Amino acid sequence: MNKKEIALLACDELEKLYPDALCSLNYSEPYELMIAARLSAQCTDARVNIVTETLFKKYPDLQSFANADLNQLEQDIKPCGFYKTKAKSIKLMANQIINDFNGQLPDTMDKLLTLSGIGRKTANLIMGDIWKKPAIVTDTHFIRITGRLGLTSNKEPAKVEKDLIPLIPPERSSDFCHRIVLFGREYCKARKPLCDKCPLNYFCKYN
């Protein structure tokens, strides 16, 4: 099988396995996803969800993040790690969205990348989940699993994204990324993948 055939099989199997492809970060408003994604850098989604449950009540809108006392915001997000850098970028990005984009999240990659602390991974997450556009979110699960499937030999997120764009149907790309995360946690773990139980083992290069 070629890479395109493997990618389509992976899409099909993961869709059967996880029919409800949902983002693992909890949010109600588009800007909340952006903030949660910023907090998730070097932190588990589970911990981020614990922190944001309180955080989004304390700061109920974008303006409240823009006006936040920086020292207090640092303490509010401290459990997520790298809290000084994250607090500074969250406050700045809130101001950027209000001042530069009339309070609305941008809907293009180029504009999203102008926001403080937002890289391609988070920008792709927003493009897929908020704007329902094609998106390849290259988190650690995605890089590990697409490598094991033989879809890419790269480890750098931007290169992995470039390799996968022609392989995954655009309309399935965002959901595929969410399913990869669930699959990585349940089957294709970093240290001890459950290859003998894996529903993808009949075409996986790693197995």
Measured CA to CA, the distance from residue 75 to residue 63 in angstroms comes to 19
pLDDT tier for residue 10 given thresholds of 50, 70 and 90 = very high
pLDDT in tens, 147-188: 999 999 999 999 999 999 999 999 999 999 999 999 999 999
pLDDT in tens, 15-56: 999 999 889 999 999 999 999 999 999 999 999 999 999 999
Q: Which of 194, 179, 191, 109 is nearest to 146 (CA)?
A: 179
Owner of token pair 């992976």: 10
Which DSSP string corresponds to 182-205? Answer: HHHHHTS-SSS--GGG-TTTTT-S
Q: By the 8 A CB rule, do 169 and 11 touch?
A: yes
